[in-house]
Chains A and B, each alone.
Chain A
């Protein structure tokens, strides 16, 4: 089975940086995904990591350490529209993804 943990809530100020951590314990591992979900909407794909290290995509970066079972999503130059829930998910070679409960990020002016 999979056990995926991430903080429930985080608050930050517009223009700041926020780091959302995700730890996982899995019976198989085939990559780690991050999704963004605005209130009342569908989750949308943000990033995928399968190798250790940092992947950067504009204001968003994602890091993975497979040996530590750890990932983080880094949001830079926060904007009000970044207020959303961020979901960490682990793939395990059986087509399925296991999702964490999500971290709700609130950006304040």
Chain B
């Protein structure tokens, strides 16, 4: 089974703090993704990566950056956390193929509260 893990289930930070969210997958997947999920808005893509050291902006990259130094690990960084970044953050991974190989497998999520 694909396993995607995230470093924290719950996180409370203060405005202006630098926040690191870590994601690790154990299935040798090429692609990794960071989403945020808010009520009524669904899943919105922040950044994704299709290879080590490669990254692409998603739909809402402002205020975020990412790092992928190793294939299995994809980090999301909030340089200066703001209250509007309070959300559920979900990491996912998938193979590099097309069609059903694009199936994404999700981690358990990190619920971030910025005070």
Contacts and interface: CB of A to CB of B under 8 A. Distances in A.
Nearest to A43: B106
Contacts, number: 55
B100 A48 contact: yes
Contact of B90 (A31, A33, A43): A43
B90 A93 contact: no
B90 A42 contact: yes
Given A30-B98, A41-B109, A100-B42, A95 B103 contact: no
Given A99-B43, A100-B42, A91 B109 contact: no
Residue of B41, B94, B103 most packed against chain A (CB within 10 A)? B103
Given A41-B108, A41-B109, A42-B109, A97 B102 contact: yes
Contacts of A50: 99-100
Contact of A45 (B58, B96, B105, B108): B105
Interface residues of A, number: 22
Given A43-B90, A50-B100, A101-B41, A95 B31 contact: yes
B74 interface: no
B100 A95 contact: no
Interface in B89-115: 90, 94, 96, 98-100, 102-109
Contacts of B48: 95-96
Contacts of B50: 95
Nearest to A102: B42
Contacts of B103: 33, 45, 48
A101 B108 contact: no
Contacts of B94: 95
A42 B108 contact: yes
A87 B104 contact: no
Given A43-B106, A48-B103, A96 B45 contact: yes
Given A41-B109, A87-B42, A96-B58, 7 more contacts: A8-B40, A30-B98, A42-B108, A44-B106, A45-B105, A50-B100, A102-B42
Interface of B: 4, 31, 33, 40-43, 45, 48, 50, 58, 90, 94, 96, 98-100, 102-109
